[in-house]
Amino acid sequence: MKWLMIFWGGPVILLTGWYSLSYYDMSFGIFMLTREAHDLVFRVYGHVLGIPPESIPPLVARAMVVDTIVLFGLVALRKHRQIASWFGARLGGATSQPAGASPLPSNANLSSAP
């Protein structure tokens, strides 16, 4: 999970941070964080892709949202037993048992005689 946060979260945070700082021209003396560099980057990408530069940021944001949903969906599929047991414990419901497991303890006496 640590590597997931590094390889997914790192680029997302860097891209979002750069976009936010350069959009609002908070450059701190660094050219890459100026609004001029922001506009230049999107003009170059727009020219390469053949689309208007102002349509690129919503496309990138939508791609990041879809990638996040797919990624966390895959994590949920991988960890579904842990998630189900956590919900069972939190909601006070019965814990799920493996298929074929008996709900009674193995030493239960089922005879009616005392």
- pLDDT tens digits for range 72-85: 998 888 888 888 88
Q: Residues 14-72: pLDDT tens digits?
A: 999 999 999 998 989 999 999 999 999 999 999 999 999 999 999 999 999 999 999 99
Query: Of 19, 14, 8, whose CA–CA distance to 69 is shortest?
Result: 8
> By the 8 A CB rule, do 85 and 96 touch?
yes
Q: What is the pTM of this model?
A: 0.65
> By the 8 A CB rule, do 35 and 22 touch?
yes
Phi first, then psi: what are they for 57, rounded to 5°? -55, -45
